Amino acid sequence: MLTLAPQSRVCLSLTLLVTLECMPMNATIERFLQYLRLERNLSWRTVDTYRRDLAQWEDYMTGGNRPLDLVSVTAGDLRSWLIKRSAHGDCPATLRRRVQALRALYRYLLRKNLVTVNPAAQVELAKLAKPLPKLVREKTVNALLDAEIDLDDFTQVRDRLIVMLFYETGIRLSELIGLQDSAVDTDKCELKVHGKRDKDRLIPFGDELVQWITRYRRLRAGVRPVCGNLLVTAKGNPLYSSLVYRVVHEGLAMAGGTGKLSPHVLRHTFASVMLNRGAELNSVKELLGHESLAATQVYTHVTLSELQHNYELAHPRALKKGG
């Protein structure tokens, strides 16, 4: 799988935007996509996903050989397309995303007075199963963080700091990669994260993390970084996703972890640990940078599930079989 370095992503984003303008799509849909990218400031990944969904829908509606009439589209037309997509193997999550793309398009058309109804609003979203977030056992993370390493080796210290930042702050992969050195204040014990929708938040951290950041910065001076990021490669360049993922996955696997071992799983683990230790739900929401409390409440189910599991393993009455 091809992975781009962060400095290449801006160019790719611009390239995709130009691609949007050159795609043989309905001109109104093209303007909608540009609106999402330039005015709504959605990521190029999201816009490109919308583009592919809407291009497939347009091809279905026109047969590829006639103009698309956005005004005459009905909810029945949309349902027919979704039935066809389901027959081709689309999962509920994909079908749900396609409907959301169409709803967004028609909301845009309504604001522009190009249509009078939103047919996609009449189409029910596919129901999704809600699996609990995957976690890593605390003992696994602690085994990794307590393992001995060469404290004079830049890469080993950086990799330890990567895991520690995920586990002790709950930041996202993209937030860690983009974390600026100037945004990490070891005197105040806080870091400033630039998160989703261009929103910033402050996250406190403890003395242990201060010591590791200080140690890492001393070693980083010998690397001569070429950017302002806190974390860099051995050549001084910004980190990239596959490198960070590999550091986390291999480290947790060596410490005895099983199943999915990713940066986002460490984020889930951070939230669960905080709630298990008595943190208020709203505080965890702010630390994670969630838009709504509903997104954070899923971790209460995780902690209750863990409590039930421990109860069934340990309580004498739970262990009793039969009468």
In tens, the pLDDT along 295-308 reads 888 887 666 665 55
**What is the token pair recorded at 207?**
């003395």
pLDDT grade, residue 316 (50/70/90)? low
Amino acid identity at 142: N
Closest to 154 in 3D by CA, of 210, 241, 223: 223
Beta bridge partners of 191: 184, 203
Torsion angle defined by CA atoms of residues 42, 46, 52 and 53, in that order, rounded to the nearest 10 degrees: -90
Cα Rg for the chain, rounded, in angstroms? Answer: 24
Residues 6+ apart with CB under 8 A from 263: 166, 172, 173, 176, 244, 245, 248
What's the angle, vertex CA 46, arms to CA 45 and CA 47, rounded to 5?
95
- Please tell me the predicted confidence (pLDDT) of residue 234: 95
Instruction: Please give the Cα distance from 82 to 78 (Å, whole number).
Output: 6
Task: Judge whether residue 14 has pLDDT over 70.
Answer: no
- Average pLDDT along the chain: 86
Please state, for a pLDDT cut of 70, what percent of the chain lies above it.
84
Active centre residues (catalytic): 172, 196, 264, 267, 290, 299
Amino acid identity at 116: T
**What is the token pair recorded at 163?**
């895991």
Span of 180-184, 226-230, 257-261, 310-314 with lowest mean pLDDT = 310-314
Instruction: Please give the Cα distance from 205 to 222 (Å, whole number).
Output: 26
The half-sphere exposure of 272 on its side-chain side, counting CA atoms within 13 A, is: 22
Left if phi > 0, otherwise alpha if psi is -120 to 50, otherwise beta: which for 316? alpha
**What is the token pair recorded at 302?**
């995780």
Q: Which parts of the chain fold into alpha helices (H)?
A: 6-22, 27-38, 44-62, 75-87, 92-111, 138-146, 154-169, 173-178, 207-220, 241-254, 263-276, 281-288, 293-314, 316-319
In tens, the pLDDT along 214-269 reads 999 999 999 989 999 999 999 999 999 999 999 999 999 999 999 999 999 999 99
Structural domains for the chain: 8-122 (1.10.150.130), 138-314 (1.10.443.10)
- Please tell me the predicted confidence (pLDDT) of residue 126: 82
**What is the token pair recorded at 253?**
């696997």
**Starting at the edge strand that comes first in sequence, how are the strands of the sheet with 200-204 ordered?**
184-185, 190-194, 200-204
Cβ atoms of 241 and 9 closer than 8 Å: no
- Please tell me the predicted confidence (pLDDT) of residue 306: 59
pLDDT grade, residue 25 (50/70/90)? low
